[in-house]
Amino acid sequence: MMPALLNRICHIGFHIVEGQQLASNLVQRFGFELFATRVAEWSKQLAFRRGDAIFVVNERLKPTEQVPPASSSGHCKEKGILYDVEPQHAVSTASNICFEVEDIPDVSQNLRERGCQLLVPPTTVADEGGSVTYCVVKSVVGNISHTLLDRSQYSGLFLPGFRVVDETRNEFQADGKVTHFDHITFACPQGSSQAVVDWYKNCLGFRRFLIHEQDHVCEGYRIQGPGVGLRLTAMSYSRSDSTLPNRDCKFVLAESLPGQSSNQVDAFLKQHGGAGIQHVALYTSDIVGTAAAMSKSGANFFKPPLAYYSDKGKEQEIKRVGLEIGLLRDHGILLDADTVGEGSSESLGPVRKPYLMQVFTKPLFTEETFFLELIERWGATGFGEGNVRALWQSVQNYMDKYA
């Protein structure tokens, strides 16, 4: 019996408590476009996109916004949230990762036989564009759930029950530089990563993905040193449809190592109320331009210690790929070259090693929990392991400042 085969990520869902400004910030600061909405009796669901990256923000309606059932979205018979579960968390959270699959009845039966908890059984929703069938399965990681849906019988823009919003995109939203989700990182308790990998392998068909020459299949990649202790474990899923674009979104598990003092992984677990999605990385074809546009629009990014850019080894690494140190420093952009292999793509040339660039926002919520990452890859397949110490220190400085 095969595990569920996933085609691709459809969207990532948030549950937002009253007073948080995620919806407006996605548009104004991060260049997302509101393209579909759904209003129910007690809640609203807002769909935002940049390229193929789609966020669905679920919010409770204020008393003045609540509508009688007869006035709810015309297509939907259900009063509550669709394609997700009703919110249970006390703080704002990114908690649902939705995948497109085929044959929901078979997938859901398969998951039950593997001991998985179905939070929503197979459910069909229809409107004039056709129908979608979905189920929701609980992950073993904190409050995370996975919506699995089959939209092969649907021709609408997004999902049944959502009303398409026809708004003119501004230049920021239409620049085409952000294309898809690159990876999603979970903050996990110490010692839990192997059990998480086993669950995703057995239930959803994921496989381990080695990110460093010192990455051990069972132990993950351990990063230890003065002031930092972190274990990273990565995995990716096998797509059932090989005709789709090769934009597989990988999962990264982060847990602190024993003996650490206050650190951002454990701070997440405490303030979030358990394990969950720590950050989502957006792929961009122009990280400097994207970071500059977002900063100009009000987004706040972490800046690594200045010593990061004056380090001789890092300085040579940046110059070797033909970039200006000052340009990266101005925007807080980190660069990391792969530890093994040389670049083989035409864009890299015959000498350069594969590398990536990344920059991280400050937390998007009141709590020190969820944040975004921008990443641009030039042949590199890792996640910036060489930058972890600089990022760890910059986040630690931020935490100490507001402690």
Q: Residue 32: pLDDT above 90?
A: yes
Which one has a higher pLDDT value, 257 or 214? 257
What is the rounded average pLDDT of the residues 287-300? 96
Cβ neighbours, 10 Å, residue 285? 14
Q: Residue 265: pLDDT above 80?
A: yes
Q: Residue 343: pLDDT above 60?
A: no
Q: What is the pLDDT of residues 349-393, one digit of tens each?
A: 444 689 999 999 999 999 989 999 999 999 988 887 777 777 767
> ∠ CA(282), CA(39), CA(124), 5° rounding?
80
Residue ranges of alpha helices (H) inside 134-233 are 193-204
Distance CA 275, CA 189 (A): 7
pLDDT confidence of residue 225: 74
Q: Residue 318: pLDDT above 50?
A: yes
What is the rounded average pLDDT of the residues 134-139? 98
| Dihedrals phi, psi of 397, to nearest 5 degrees | -60, -40
How far is the CA of 85 from the CAs of 80, 93, 137, 301, 334, in angstroms?
A: 9, 13, 10, 31, 37
List, by residue range, all CATH 3.10.180.10 domains of the chain: 8-164, 178-401
Fill in the amino acid letter for 379. Answer: G
Q: Does the reported pTM lie above 0.75?
A: yes
pLDDT confidence of residue 346: 39
Q: Residue 262: pLDDT above 80?
A: no
What is the rounded average pLDDT of the residues 299-327? 90
Question: What is the residue-averaged pLDDT of the chain?
Answer: 87
pLDDT confidence of residue 401: 66
The set of long-range contacts for 302-308, using a CB threshold of 8 Å and a minimum separation of 24, is 302/332, 302/359, 302/360, 302/361, 302/362, 302/391, 302/394, 302/395, 302/398, 303/332, 303/394, 304/332, 304/334, 304/387, 304/390, 304/391, 304/393, 304/394, 305/390, 305/393, 305/394, 305/397, 308/334, 308/390
Q: Is 15 annotated as a binding residue?
A: no
What is the rounded average pLDDT of the residues 217-227? 81
Exposed/middle/buried for residue 52 (C-beta within 10 Å: 0-12, 13-18, 19+)? middle
CATH classification for the domain delimited by 8-164, as one of 3.40.720.10, 3.40.50.300, 3.30.70.20, 3.10.180.10: 3.10.180.10
Which one has a higher pLDDT value, 62 or 50? 50
pLDDT confidence of residue 294: 97
| 178-401 fold | 2,3-Dihydroxybiphenyl 1,2-Dioxygenase; domain 1 (3.10.180)
pLDDT confidence of residue 365: 96
pLDDT confidence of residue 30: 97
Q: Is 180 annotated as a binding residue?
A: no
Q: What is the pLDDT of residues 71-104, one digit of tens each?
A: 444 444 457 899 999 888 889 999 999 999 999 9
Q: Is 113 annotated as a binding residue?
A: no
